[in-house]
Amino acid sequence: MSDAIVTALLELADDHLVLGHRLSEWCGHAPMLEEDLALPSMGLDLIGAARVLYTRAGEIEGKGRGEDDFAYLRDERAYRNCLLVERPNGDFAQTMLRQLYFAAFMEPYWKAALGSSDAVVQGLAAKALKEVAYHIRHSAEWVIRLGDGTAESAARMAEAVVELHGYTDELFLSSEAAQAAEAAGILPGRAALRTAWEAALKPVFAEAQLDWPEKVWPQSGGRKGEHGEALGHMLAEMQVIARAHPGAVW
């Protein structure tokens, strides 16, 4: 039972760490100063949530593992994030659409998690709910600006939808571990959040002149540790310092 809870918390934590790290990759590369600050700021929020969740998972596991052990000393196959968050940054259209897809899912998720039976999850939910409102607004503004922009930006935004939409289905799937955590009242169910997610996104798509894809080929496997090639490269860069200096502390 507690194994399942730990795994379920790690799934959620991995989603946040991986996407947070992806956003940090924009630091110093964004097209303008405002975005150079905005993307890592959102990344910090996500990494902050991951830290809380890793620490809580370590407490429940009771084997002395903490946030750094989970983040830096697990291989790709042990990571349990969904595939959407590990997708490479691509261009601005892909980065912003990936963010919007995830944030629009997490908003109703955190809202439901306000009723968690776990005090740490509950406290985090209240905090993250306010932060994610900014993420939704920021990414939605960009999706609209690019989708309803020039011929070039509109084509790239439409391409981003083709590239990413198939990865969103996995957000609504609960692994066996997540189902156990849901039954215990620790984490909210995922499938029921689809209505809220679509209701948040469809008006944005309409304003951005983007077609909502009716036919998609859903991709999943992240919760079983089956990832795309991109995650291994990301983890190699993220973990190299910690692995080169085992046991080093700040």
Partner 1 sequence: MSVTDLSAAQAGARAWAAAAAVPDPEIPVVTVADLGILRAVTLRDGVAVAQVSPTYTGCPAVLAIELAVEAALRDAGFEARVERQLSPPWTTDWITEEGREKLRAYGIAPPAQAANSVRALFGESVVACPRCGSEATEKLSDFGSTPCKAQYRCRDCLEPFDHFKCI
Non-local CB neighbours of 231 within 8 Å, separated by 6+ positions? 18, 76, 79, 81, 86
Q: How far is the CB of 36 from partner 1 (least distance, A)?
A: 9
Query: Any idea what the Cα angle at residue 143 is, between residues 88 and 84, rounded to 5°?
Result: 30
Q: How far is the CB of 123 from partner 1 (least distance, A)?
A: 3
Query: Does residue 130 interact with partner 1 by CB under 8 A?
Result: yes
Q: How far is the CB of 120 from partner 1 (least distance, A)?
A: 7
| Residue with Cβ nearer partner 1 (47 or 235) | 47
Number of amino acids touching partner 1 (CB under 8 A):
29
Query: Does residue 128 interact with partner 1 by CB under 8 A?
Result: yes
Query: Any idea what the Cα angle at residue 241 is, between residues 240 and 247, rounded to 5°?
Result: 115
Answer whether 27's CB lies under 8 Å from 36's CB. yes
Ramachandran assignment for 221, one of left (phi > 0), alpha (psi -120 to 50 degrees), beta (any other): left
Report residue 78 as tokens.
């042990």
Query: Does residue 46 interact with partner 1 by CB under 8 A?
Result: yes
Taken as a whole, the chain contains a residue count of: 250
- Binding part of the chain for partner 1, among 78-86, 129-137, 150-158, 175-183 by CB under 8 A, reads 129-137
Query: Does residue 137 interact with partner 1 by CB under 8 A?
Result: yes
**How far apart (Å, rounded) are the C-alpha atoms in residues 101 and 84?**
9
Binding residue for partner 1 (CB under 8 A) from 80, 87, 138, 227? 138
Binding residue for partner 1 (CB under 8 A) from 38, 93, 180, 234? 38
Ramachandran assignment for 121, one of left (phi > 0), alpha (psi -120 to 50 degrees), beta (any other): alpha
Binding residue for partner 1 (CB under 8 A) from 21, 51, 80, 87? 51
Q: How far is the CB of 229 from partner 1 (least distance, A)?
A: 28
Report residue 62 as tokens.
């009771």
Residues that bind partner 1 (CB under 8 A): 20, 34, 37-38, 41-49, 51-52, 119-120, 122-124, 126-128, 130-131, 133-134, 137-138
